[in-house]
Structure 1
Amino acid sequence: MGALQTSEAPQIKPVVTVKPPEPGPVAELKLVIGAGSEETVVTLAGSLTMSSAYLLGRVLTELVDQGHRFLVLDVHDLESCDGAGWTLLLGIRWRLATVAGRLRLTGLPPRLMRSCRQMELAEVFELDGKVAEPAG
């Protein structure tokens, strides 16, 4: 029986605020990263839009590059997600799949769940069981 090998989780900044350097009012996306034993939970709050998707993509890609294979995005405080946001999530899901990892979305608000279903992404993403049940 082989011994289980463990390694320390990479040092990650606990709170990251993604705010694009654009003039005028822009949506802000806040995220908190917490590394668990097997899953890395990233909590998102605010708006995932074209202006924040690129920067979030860099953060998530860095996590995958550091060896995090099981990402859980807690999106219960996500107010909106546009096409760029969904595209980013699809890209991260694909990247994780290439390294035998996975992406799970948890706490998807009803409005965003409807968008997810309309775009036929509910079957693509691993969703939190309670939220992913079909609406009656």
Structure 2
Amino acid sequence: MSFEISVNQQEVLVIVEGKIFVEDAAQLREKLLELIDQGHRRFIIDMHKAIYIDSSGLGVLVAIHKRAIENGGGVVIRGLQGVVKDLFLMTRLNKVFEMD
């Protein structure tokens, strides 16, 4: 997995590519928590290049979402498709996140 993060005044855009497993999720969590600690509150997670995400990856997204909401922000998930979209639907995370 790889991810690219771009930050501006209003939001953080995270483009995720490939397969997200435990070790990747830990790296992503660390970086996004660091951005939350810096005061960023609104995150857009672009998943159009993601082909798989395991439970640890889903857990990271939920944790970031919770922290962002606590700080008056939120997380938008964009570009779900294929297996990744199916996992969001199966786990009902499409009801938790704002989807774009």
8 Å CA contact retained: 2:12, 2:43 = yes
Give the letter for the 1:96 counterpart. A
1:52, 1:76 → 2: CA distance? 17
Q: 1 or 2 for the larger relative contact order (CA 8 Å, sep ≥6)?
A: 2
2:21 is aligned to 49
- 1:110 positional shift: 2.7
Q: Does 1:117 align with 2:89?
A: yes
Please, which of 53, 64, 80 is the counterpart of residue 81 of structure 1? 53
Identical pairs, percent: 29
The CA deviation at 1:48 is 1.2
**1:61 matched residue in structure 2:** 33
Structural RMSD (CA): 1.0
SS in 1 for 2:62: helix
Secondary structure, in 3 states, of the residue corresponding to 1:31?
A: strand
Q: Please, which runs of 5 or more residues in structure 1 have no aligned partner?
A: 1-28, 129-136
Q: Is the 8 A contact 2:51 2:82 kept in 1?
A: no
Q: What is the CA–CA distance in structure 1 between the aligned matches of 2:89 and 2:16, rounded to whole Å?
A: 20
- Counterpart of 2:5 in structure 1 is 33
TM superposition shift of 1:51:
2.0
Q: TM-score, normalised by structure 2?
A: 0.93
Larger Rg: 1
Structure with the higher strand share, 1 or 2: 2
As a proportion of its length, which structure holds more helix? 2
Aligned-pair CA distance for 1:78:
0.7
Matched letter for residue 123 of structure 1: K
Counterpart AA for 1:49: F
Structure 1's consecutive aligned runs of 4 or more residues displaced over 3 angstroms after TM superposition are none
Would the aligned equivalents of 2:18 and 2:49 in 1 still touch at CA under 8 Å? yes
Note the C-alpha offset of 1:100. 0.6
The offset of 1:108, in angstroms, is: 0.9
Residue segments in structure 2 that go unaligned for 5+ positions in a row: none
